[in-house]
């Protein structure tokens, strides 16, 4: 990671802290608790967590070509036909994706941050930088982590202290 005290180091340290708060909240949940939803029309805790994991793996593996076969498989965890996961599996998915992302990010040079990728045709922005991808994943984790926190609280379960 970037030097301690840098703005980037602060972001990554707090992103990891955010993930650890999510892990602490979901690790003790039963399979039944993971099926809880804020509303019948909304996604379950399990589905939201699988979506966080799947998105991380897809952006890194499919867009940037980073990570191996196990990591790539995590990218399918939130697909419509994907099975539900236990709390232990969700924790493993978060930790595995973080490990691969951390290793990649901490190895990037200033020039590496400016590498670009073409987005899907018709999507905005047309060209994505690694900077954009990382910010998108941070905001994605925060958004969906908030959904998990709300759902836990609505059902009287310990929500992360976000």
Helix axes 7-26, 87-107, angle to 10 degrees: 170
Separation of alpha carbons 100 and 115, rounded Å: 18
* pLDDT of residue 3 exceeding 80: no
Rounded mean pLDDT of 31-51? Answer: 98
pTM, 2 dp:
0.93
pLDDT recorded at residue 2: 52
Domains parsed from the chain with CATH numbers: 44-155 (1.20.120)
Going by the annotation, the residues of the binding site for a divalent metal cation are: 51, 140, 144
**Which whole number is the average pLDDT over 48-77?**
97
133: pLDDT confidence band, cut at 50, 70 and 90?
very high
> Known binding site: residues?
51, 140, 144
Is 92 in contact with 71 (CB distance < 8 Å)?
no
Q: What percent of the chain has pLDDT over 90?
A: 86
Distance CA 115, CA 117 (A): 7
């Amino acid at each position: 990671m970037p030097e301690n005290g840098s703005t980037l180091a602060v972001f990554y340290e707090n992103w990891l802290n955010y993930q650890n708060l999510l892990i602490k909240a979901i690790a003790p949940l039963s399979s039944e608790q993971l099926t809880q939803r804020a509303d019948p029309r909304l996604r379950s805790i399990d589905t939201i967590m699988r979506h966080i994991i799947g998105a991380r793996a897809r952006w890194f593996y499919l867009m940037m070509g980073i990570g191996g076969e196990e990591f790539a498989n995590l990218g399918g965890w939130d697909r419509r036909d994907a099975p539900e996961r236990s709390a232990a599996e969700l924790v493993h998915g978060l930790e595995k994706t973080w490990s691969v992302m951390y290793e990649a990010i901490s190895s990037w040079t200033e020039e590496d941050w400016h590498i670009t990728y073409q987005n899907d045709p018709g999507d905005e922005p047309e060209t994505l930088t690694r900077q954009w991808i990382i910010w998108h994943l941070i905001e994605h984790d925060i958004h969906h982590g908030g959904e998990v926190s709300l759902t836990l609280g609505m059902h009287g379960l310990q929500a992360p202290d976000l």
